[in-house]
Structure 1
Amino acid sequence: MLVQLQYLRAIAALMVVYFHSVLQVQKVNSGFDSQFHLFGETGVDIFFVLSGFVMWLTTAGREMRPLDFYRRRIQRIVPLYWLATLFSAAVALIAPSILKSTVFNIPHLVASLLFLPWRNAADPELVAPVVIPGWTLNYEMFFYLVFGLLLLVREKWRLYALFGTMTAVILTCRLLPVTTATTVYGDPIIYEFLAGVVLAKLYLEKVLLPQAVAWPALVVGFAFLLINETLCDASMRAYMWGIPAVVILCSAVSIDFSKRPVIGWLSYLGDASYSIYITHAFTLALIRVVCGVLKIDIVTHGSVFVSACIVGSAIGGAIVHELTTPSRWGKWKKKQAAIA
């Protein structure tokens, strides 16, 4: 895996953690003015473009059956997500005051486990699963479903088939009566996955930006991502947030990192980014509760609180990553067997 992809995964995950950390301050004090501090939601758009890139990069030029593709995706995504979902539901049932954005509701829980869009029981205006950040996984699993089926199509036609399928889905959803499902799958945000696929195809064909252009483009991409996030809401994200995310990835993969020293901790956080993303909501809730018990005013100490949330989420996600990665368990078992 390209090391810059790991860097981007880490940055994207920490952006989302920062975004939700500031929202935690708002939960304590609804009058808290975060207009000039609240950003990072666009880390999701980087993830979506990355996902399309990685899926094409890891399947191009290889014979892979849809069932094998699904098995690998399910093994990576489902166990931790289901565990987090069931844990959230249990907390919502037993101690509802801890997770303020979660209410125990059986239909909502089932829909969450099946990656189906559903209105949040705690906030009917919000279409999100029990684990709120998991709304992105509903899109991810939809993309995997479509991409896996299209592995049956010859590779030279696969990109066109993917574009046609996604366009057909969007148009169909726009023509059907408005429902939760048509609203979700009719969102052009799914084109961000397609953009990542296009970038991967260009990368494999060695169509890259010149090194002298790639670095400035990377900086400009991040600048516009954050500026656009401030100026535009999520209704415009497919292009106002998606295009800068595409520029960022295009620039990053055009840069030759092979002769540069690897930033070990950042690469590791990229490897653990999924665990960080899924578990950070629990870490933030825990830190908020601890601050309440210790009578720490997180509004007054906002920067310290947010910093603690970022560091705590990174550490917590890394621990979960170590505990839930099958290959690491295999290495541990072999080590224990050797000792015995």
Structure 2
Amino acid sequence: MLISVQALRALAAWTVVCHHFMQIFFDFKASGSVGQLFIDKGAVGVDVFFVISGLVIFLSTEHKPLPPARFLLYRLIRIVPAYWLYTVLMGLLVVFAQPLLPDQTVDWSHFLLSLLFIPAENPGGYGIYPTLNVGWTLNYEMLFYVLFAWALLFRLQVRVLVVAALLFAVCEAWTGFGWISGFYRSDIVYEFLLGIAIGMLHRRGWIASGGWLPLLGIGAALLAIYHLPPTPRLLSWGVPSAVLVMSCLALERYVEGSRLLKWLGDCSYSVYLMHVLVLSAGGFLARRYGIDPYLMFAVCVLAIGAGSWLSYEWVEKRSYRWLKARIDGEAVENLSRQKY
């Protein structure tokens, strides 16, 4: 477990939280420079997520002879339980607590597509977003998992090339022919490749441990994100995000024993999934009872922090262990039958 990556994952999640705080509480209208920074640049947390995802998936499979189907099953049982839980909670809030989410509506066919990670126009009319709006990133994640599963059939050294070719075919050619949703025609999908490339560099020992040079890399990446326009996203935010990830890897020896950073990283997926629900409730209460937005945000941060820990411990971890034990048990049983 790379604690530096866990720390960066947590930072990315909370950056997205601040971005949506400005959206839900202030409708993306800032009165200060910090608020404007999170409005303009807070979404870069997603790009950091995608680079980290490519890195983690590559490193977690490099020494394992993992069949593609087994890889996909493991990824599904890691991602799906928490996502389905918060999607259902979002649907229930929209149906039974409409004032909390006045711009949201639920269409049951769209709700089903959301659960299946199939991009579709949101019935609220504001774009291709699932019922749990932040789940749009998971649609890209699932595409990456499917394509990476195919790459597992090839030797380790060429997997990045195989994934790159498949991504180009699906996201450029197939969307152009109308075979799959144009939603996937985005340069953000290539950020997963940056993560795989970093994994290959790390595996070969080419990302050396250091002090001042990684800090310079972090500073340069943050300056690039701050000054560059958000498009093209791959160059403006994707490449700087990759530099952030590499720089953090080079600082691993300084943080490798931190339990706090590991815990923050562990909880980051639940932070990402639940924060809009908590912020929506907080924004409603702040408007209705005239509570200072920043005071309510502090309350929301505490609620998200506590809720994400409970979610990680009781939903993510337990569901994954339970389901994995059954998948692995079935595999052992099938192997025994083949032997006898």
TM-score grouping bracket, smaller chain normalisation: 0.7 to 0.9
Please name the residue that 1:154 is paired with: 155
Residues 1:208 and 2:207 aligned together: yes
Within a 5 Å distance, the mapping from 1:36-55 to structure 2 comes to: 36-38=37-39, 39-55=41-57
Q: 1:311 to 1:223 in 2, by over 3 A?
A: farther
Residues 1:239 and 2:235 aligned together: yes
Check conservation: 1:322, 1:328, Cα contact below 8 A.
no
Matched letter for residue 317 of structure 1:
S
Per-residue deviation, residues 230-258 of structure 1 (Å, max 9, x unmatched):
xx24x42221110110110111112242x
Within a 5 Å distance, the mapping from 1:301-340 to structure 2 comes to: 303-327=294-318
Partner residue of 1:248 out of 213, 222, 244: 244
Secondary structure at the counterpart of residue 62 of structure 1: coil
Matched letter for residue 189 of structure 1:
I
Within a 5 Å distance, the mapping from 1:218-297 to structure 2 comes to: 218-228=218-228, 232-233=229-230, 235-257=231-253, 260=255, 262-297=257-292
The CA distance in 2 between the partners of 1:273 and 1:167, in whole Å, is 29
Please name the residue that 1:338 is paired with: none
Secondary structure at the counterpart of residue 241 of structure 1: helix
Please name the residue that 1:91 is paired with: 93
Secondary structure at the counterpart of residue 121 of structure 2: coil
Q: 1:291 to 1:213 in 2, by over 3 A?
A: same
Matched letter for residue 67 of structure 1:
A
Aligned length: 317
The CA distance in 1 between the partners of 2:280 and 2:188, in whole Å, is 29
Partner residue of 2:107 out of 102, 105, 108: 105
User: Structure 1 residue 126: deviation in Å?
Assistant: 1.4
User: Structure 1 residue 223: deviation in Å?
Assistant: 3.1
Secondary structure at the counterpart of residue 207 of structure 2: coil
TM-score by length of 1: 0.86
TM-score by length of 2: 0.86
Identical aligned pairs, as a percentage? 29
User: Structure 1 residue 90: deviation in Å?
Assistant: 1.8
Secondary structure at the counterpart of residue 99 of structure 2: coil
User: Structure 1 residue 25: deviation in Å?
Assistant: 1.6
**Higher share of residues assigned helix:** 2
Secondary structure at the counterpart of residue 191 of structure 1: helix
Q: CA RMSD in A?
A: 2.4
Q: 1:157 to 1:323 in 2, by over 3 A?
A: same
Where in structure 2 are there 5+ consecutive unaligned residues?
Answer: 323-340
Secondary structure at the counterpart of residue 61 of structure 1: coil
The CA distance in 2 between the partners of 1:100 and 1:32, in whole Å, is 21
User: Structure 1 residue 26: deviation in Å?
Assistant: 2.2
Q: 1:37 to 1:164 in 2, by over 3 A?
A: closer
The CA distance in 1 between the partners of 2:182 and 2:24, in whole Å, is 28
